């Protein structure tokens, strides 16, 4: 409690750094929020584009933040960025043909996803006077828009275009999901959502993301308390 009061006092005096975190309600970004909130004033940013799982995802994010109850975490900012005109009948919009557990990880790629998340967040940050944007990109996220060189180039372009310095941070880029789970197993990870077809408030247990999540818990030797509609194989 003493540390929380100290951080709040530093916030009031403008002596604690602010950071916007791209929050999805997933395990990785939820851990990132809790991690950064130990020493920074955190602004969770949720980009709502119309993807099929967003209602449950946002609910999971709110549940996780309520559970950690950290005074250094501000209210969620939801930015509306409709993606329907871009993605049309893509599986991320329709929920049909979602990559299954036995499909390769590259099949979950959503074109330009990080671009659509980062750019509006950067504009919001320029208005709010925030310079840091953090993402929970892991070493398994080996897509072109999750590479360090991409983040560096985009940060430079955004800083120039907005006339406001933007720094993109991905502190978990050297970690695997199982390592993240092992390190932060004390957090209420079961409240997070890593599923592309949630069923009745539960993880489906059949999609590629559910398989990835459950496998990471198994590898970390941490009990998986995630509610699944079907137990992942």
Question: What are residue 77's DSSP bridge partners?
Answer: 45
Q: Which tokens sit at 211? A: 């398989």
What is the edge-to-edge ordering of all strands in the sheet holding 77-80?
A: 77-80, 41-48, 18-22, 132-134, 167-169
CATH number of the domain that residue 35 is part of: 3.40.50.620
Question: What are residue 78's DSSP bridge partners?
Answer: 46
Over residues 179-227, the pLDDT tens digits come to 999 999 999 999 999 999 999 889 999 999 999 999 999 999 999 999 9
Q: Is residue 190 part of a domain?
A: no
Q: Is residue 19 part of a domain?
A: yes
Q: State residue 113's pLDDT score.
A: 94
Estimate the crossing angle of helix 54-68 against helix 27-36, to 10 degrees: 30
Q: Is residue 200 part of a domain?
A: no
Q: Is residue 93 part of a domain?
A: yes
Ramachandran region, residue 102 (left: φ > 0; alpha: ψ -120 to 50; beta: rest): alpha
| Dihedral angle sign, alpha carbons of residues 49, 145, 24, 201 | positive
Rounded-to-integer distance, Cα 153 and Cα 166, Å: 11
The b-or-e profile of 177-203 (16+ CB within 10 A means b, else e) is bbbbbbebeebebbbbbbbbbbeeebb
Q: Which domain holds residue 96?
A: 2-176
Rounded-to-integer distance, Cα 96 and Cα 116, Å: 22
Q: Is residue 95 part of a domain?
A: yes
Q: State residue 5's pLDDT score.
A: 53
pLDDT tens, per residue, the chain with 233 residues: 555 555 555 555 357 899 999 999 999 999 999 999 999 999 999 999 999 999 999 999 999 999 999 999 999 999 999 999 999 999 999 999 999 999 988 899 999 999 999 999 999 999 999 999 999 999 988 899 999 999 999 999 999 999 999 999 999 999 999 999 999 999 999 999 999 999 988 999 999 999 999 999 999 999 999 999 998 87
Q: Is residue 144 part of a domain?
A: yes
Q: Is residue 185 part of a domain?
A: no
Q: State residue 13's pLDDT score.
A: 39
Q: State residue 6's pLDDT score.
A: 52
**Structural domains in the chain (count):** 1
Q: Is residue 6 part of a domain?
A: yes
Over residues 71-90, the pLDDT tens digits come to 999 999 999 999 999 999 99
Q: State residue 170's pLDDT score.
A: 97
């Amino acid at each position: 409690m003493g540390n929380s009061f100290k951080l709040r006092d530093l916030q009031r005096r403008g002596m604690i750094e602010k950071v916007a975190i791209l929050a999805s309600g997933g395990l990785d970004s939820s851990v990132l929020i809790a991690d950064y909130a130990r020493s920074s004033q955190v602004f969770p940013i949720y980009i709502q584009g119309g993807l099929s799982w967003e209602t449950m995802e946002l609910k999971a994010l709110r549940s996780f933040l309520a559970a950690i109850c950290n005074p250094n975490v501000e209210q969620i900012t939801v930015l509306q960025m409709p993606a329907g005109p871009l993605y049309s009948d893509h599986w991320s919009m329709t929920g049909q043909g979602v990559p299954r557990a036995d499909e390769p990880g590259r099949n979950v790629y959503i074109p330009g996803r990080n671009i659509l998340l980062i750019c509006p967040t950067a504009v919001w940050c320029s208005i709010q006077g925030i310079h840091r944007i953090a993402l929970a990109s892991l070493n398994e996220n080996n897509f072109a828009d999750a590479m360090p060189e991409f983040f560096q180039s985009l940060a430079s372009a955004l800083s120039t275009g907005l006339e406001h310095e933007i720094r993109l941070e991905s502190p978990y880029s050297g970690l695997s999901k199982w390592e993240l789970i092992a390190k932060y197993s004390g957090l209420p990870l079961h409240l997070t959502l890593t599923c592309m077809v949630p069923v009745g408030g539960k993880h489906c247990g059949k999609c590629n993301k559910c398989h990835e999540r459950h496998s990471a818990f198994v590898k970390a030797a941490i009990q998986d308390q995630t509610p699944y509609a079907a137990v992942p194989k």
